[in-house]
């Protein structure tokens, strides 16, 4: 099946996309002008539909595994605490809401929340088990009415979207004047990703990138520029840390080989230290819709 090849940068439109690394059969490239990193040969629509299904294993544990649900419940609570630092309860849309654990926490805290989820499997759980107002599909120009929401959140979602620039234009339309956009996504310029990239070609491995799910690797600079172009003003950026066990696996797995043990010993301290130096490998960007 032929894939569409990305020929121009989604952020600045430049056609100079330099090869960076090949991982799991996907080619990572970096824009020569703005530095945005993306997958040059993304999955087809059919492949994406399979990728975000219980059949492929995507979020399937949130349907059957209490430990996984508990982990994501804690993450949802942390995201809600972050949101409360910037906004009071109001009309909320969570894009990429999965099975709705964040929406459920927001609802219990007084938010009038709705969700949009690409995966039919996950969105069904959100509706049937968590009794949430969740639609299935992609965000399009006519999915919601203009100015319908006070806050729109994308928790670890923007990096999955085939066209982030187009998505933000739709988001601006349905966000009320002065409304907030909250984006959480890995930070390619964090201390661990930046330093490990220096050895990625020699090692043939860059742990930070996760194609084909993650189609884009944003830095704070590229994400800030993207939202500014879409008509938003950045009001805050928070540095966070991707859970160490997510990036490097469980303690037992750290010693599966000498090479991997050395990799963990070298880069795990940088992942832990990053947020304290304003170089976390995860970022939360808060932006306000401009007039």
Whether the CB-CB separation of 22 and 14 falls below 8 Å is answered with no
pLDDT over threshold 90, residue 247: yes
- DSSP class of residue 129 equals T
The answer to whether residue 14 is domain-embedded is: no
The answer to whether residue 10 is domain-embedded is: no
Sheet holding 232-240, edge to edge: 134-136, 112-117, 91-95, 149-155, 175-186, 282-289, 232-240
The answer to whether residue 20 is domain-embedded is: no
Whole-angstrom distance, CA of residue 240 vs CA of residue 15:
32
pLDDT over threshold 90, residue 288: yes
The answer to whether residue 95 is domain-embedded is: yes
Mean pLDDT on 107-123: 97
Q: How many CB atoms are located within 10 Å of the residue 45 CB?
A: 9
How high is the pLDDT of residue 223?
98
Question: 169-200 pLDDT, tens per residue?
Answer: 999 999 999 999 999 999 999 999 999 999 99
How high is the pLDDT of residue 1?
47
User: Which letter, b or e, does each residue of 63-100 get, where b requires 16 or more Cβ atoms within 10 Å of its Cβ?
Assistant: eeeeeeeebbbebbeebbebbeeebebebbbbbbbbbb
The answer to whether residue 104 is domain-embedded is: yes
Split at pLDDT 50, 70, 90, the class of 276 is: very high
Rounded (5°) CA angle 17-210-132: 115
Whether the CB-CB separation of 217 and 188 falls below 8 Å is answered with yes
How high is the pLDDT of residue 2?
53
Q: How many residues comprise the chain?
A: 291
Question: 145-169 pLDDT, tens per residue?
Answer: 999 999 999 999 999 999 999 999 9
The answer to whether residue 266 is domain-embedded is: yes
Mean pLDDT on 91-95: 98
How high is the pLDDT of residue 175?
98
* Closest to 37 measured CA to CA, from 287, 208, 235: 208
Q: How many CB atoms are located within 10 Å of the residue 135 CB?
A: 17
Mean pLDDT on 102-125: 97
Query: pTM score, two decimals?
Result: 0.95
Which residue range(s) make up the domain with 279?
Answer: 45-188+220-289
The answer to whether residue 196 is domain-embedded is: no
The answer to whether residue 226 is domain-embedded is: yes
Question: 10-64 pLDDT, tens per residue?
Answer: 999 999 899 999 999 999 999 999 999 999 999 999 999 999 999 998 888 888 8
How high is the pLDDT of residue 252?
86
Whether the CB-CB separation of 114 and 141 falls below 8 Å is answered with no
Whole-angstrom distance, CA of residue 209 vs CA of residue 25:
13
More confident: 174 or 250 = 174
pLDDT above 90 covers a percentage of the chain that reads: 88
Instruction: Provide the number of structural domains found in the chain.
Output: 1
How high is the pLDDT of residue 3?
64
How high is the pLDDT of residue 115?
98
Q: What is the CATH number of the domain that holds 143?
A: 3.40.50.150
pLDDT over threshold 70, residue 101: yes
Question: 262-274 pLDDT, tens per residue?
Answer: 999 999 999 999 9
Mean pLDDT on 246-266: 91
């Amino acid at each position: 099946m032929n894939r569409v090849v990305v020929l121009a940068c989604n952020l600045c439109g430049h056609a100079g996309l330099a090869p960076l690394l090949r991982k799991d059969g996907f080619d990572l490239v970096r824009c020569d002008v703005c530095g945005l990193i993306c997958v040059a040969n993304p999955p087809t629509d059919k492949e994406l539909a399979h990728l975000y299904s219980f059949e492929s294993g995507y979020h399937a544990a949130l349907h059957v595994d209490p430990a996984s649900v508990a982990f994501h419940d804690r993450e949802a609570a942390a995201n809600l605490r972050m949101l409360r630092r910037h906004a009071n309860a109001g009309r909320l849309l969570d894009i990429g809401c999965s099975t709705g654990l964040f929406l459920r926490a927001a609802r219990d805290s007084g938010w009038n929340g709705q969700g949009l989820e690409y995966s039919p499997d996950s969105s069904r759980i959100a509706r049937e088990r968590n009794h949430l107002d969740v639609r299935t599909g992609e965000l399009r120009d006519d999915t919601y009415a203009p100015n319908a929401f006070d806050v729109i959140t994308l928790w670890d979602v923007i990096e999955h979207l085939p066209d982030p620039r187009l998505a933000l234009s739709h988001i601006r339309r349905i966000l009320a004047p002065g409304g907030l956009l909250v984006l959480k996504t890995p930070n390619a310029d964090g201390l661990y990703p930046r330093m490990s990239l220096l050895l990625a070609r020699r090692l043939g491995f860059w742990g930070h990138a996760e194609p084909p799910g993650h189609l884009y690797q944003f830095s704070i600079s590229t994400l800030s520029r993207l939202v500014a172009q879409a008509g938003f003003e950045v009001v805050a950026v928070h540095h966070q840390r991707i859970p160490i066990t997510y990036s490097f696996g469980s303690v037992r797995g750290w010693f599966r080989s000498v090479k991997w043990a050395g990799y963990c010993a070298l880069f795990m301290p940088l992942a832990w230290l990053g947020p304290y130096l304003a170089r976390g490998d995860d970022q939360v960007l808060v932006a306000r819709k401009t007039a």
